[in-house]
Amino acid sequence: MNEFELIDFFFKSIPHDRSDVVFGIGDDAACLQIPAQTQLLVSSDTLVADVHFLSSWDAYDIACKAVMVNVSDIAAMGGSPCWLTLALTLPDYNQQWLQRFAQGLTDSLSRFNIALIGGDTTRGPLSVTLTIHGLVPANKAIRRSGAKVGDKIYVSGPLGAAAQAVVFLSRTDIDADDLHCLNQKLMHPNPRVDLAPVLQQFATAAIDISDGFSADLAHICDASQVGANLNLAKIPVHPLVENYQGNNAIEFALSGGDDYELCFTVSSADEKEFLHALELAGLTCYQIGIIEATPGLRARQLTGEVTPLDVKGYSHF
């Protein structure tokens, strides 16, 4: 197949149920109808073979992860994912690989009713670049820069499982059920779009946890020109991380990446109403600290002592 036949065969037929796509794949650009009183969110991520995923992974899993990490960026802004473009770089034409990738893409997009509206295919080292577009009610987008002194710090779920899966990538002596659970967290993260309505109403700042919790919380603090104090006893560590990391579990959970849970802040004055809204929605989040005026991160240790907290997380350079 040439480039255009490949696109037509594997990607043009991916279904969606969106009337706001005027036209998509097949022209020089897609045309979208943006509803009144909404604003457009746009984010882009590149996943490179043997950096963000192993070349040996099933192409289905590669596609799933690529979609979910992009959806997570929209979730962190309090938005709803709507449309996606795909730039796929392939070392060669492999029909079986492309069929698995296209199926993973189809299943992942259908979960959120996201339309694939265009992109590009080229020859080269394997990489996947997605640009996702989402919608948020006008002036309701949640930024990193809104945290205020006294705001409570929340996280949307347990931490550390994906990083533990990375540790075990080359291990063959791990319990099969444990390994499957951890790999699901790594390959099939669950972006927290379910929190969007509550976050729009109550969150003062938010970020998704991709590079490591402490590093991503530091981004909120830097953007908001504040600091943070965490209570380590309240950090929700994934049970398997506690099992395999032992006494190092909390530190490991704070620095590991690829969780794709959300870290966000809520005004103390709104906290009671926020918790009620969570309960009505059937959702659980964890209050783990407070925003302070003094820059930097600090942590209340299990002993009660407050000490500086090192910012650790993934960096490409």
Q: What is the pLDDT of residue 282?
A: 97
Of the listed ranges 98-112, 166-180, 287-301, the one predicted with least confidence: 166-180
Block residue for tokens 């699901």: 184
Above 70 in pLDDT, residue 81? yes
Give helix 95-112 / helix 59-76 axis angle, nearest 10°.
30
Q: What is the pLDDT of residue 54?
A: 93
Distance CA 289, CA 228 (A): 7
Q: What is the pLDDT of residue 4?
A: 81
Average pLDDT over all residues of the chain: 95
* Topology, domain 144-308: Phosphoribosyl-aminoimidazole Synthetase; Chain A, domain 2 (3.90.650)
Q: What is the pLDDT of residue 1?
A: 74
Block residue for tokens 């970020």: 207
Nearest residue to 119 via CA among 61, 66, 68, 58:
66
Above 90 in pLDDT, residue 238? yes
Q: What is the pLDDT of residue 12?
A: 87
Distance CA 307, CA 54 (A): 37
Above 70 in pLDDT, residue 317? no
More confident residue, 4 or 145: 145
Amino acid at 166: V
Distance CA 242, CA 245 (A): 5
Condensed to tens digits (0 to 9), the pLDDT of residues 256-279 reads 989 999 999 999 999 999 999 999
- Domain boundaries along the sequence of the chain: 3-137, 144-308
Q: Give CATH superfamily name and number for 3-137.
A: PurM-like, N-terminal domain (3.30.1330.10)
Give helix 59-76 / helix 176-187 axis angle, nearest 10°.
60
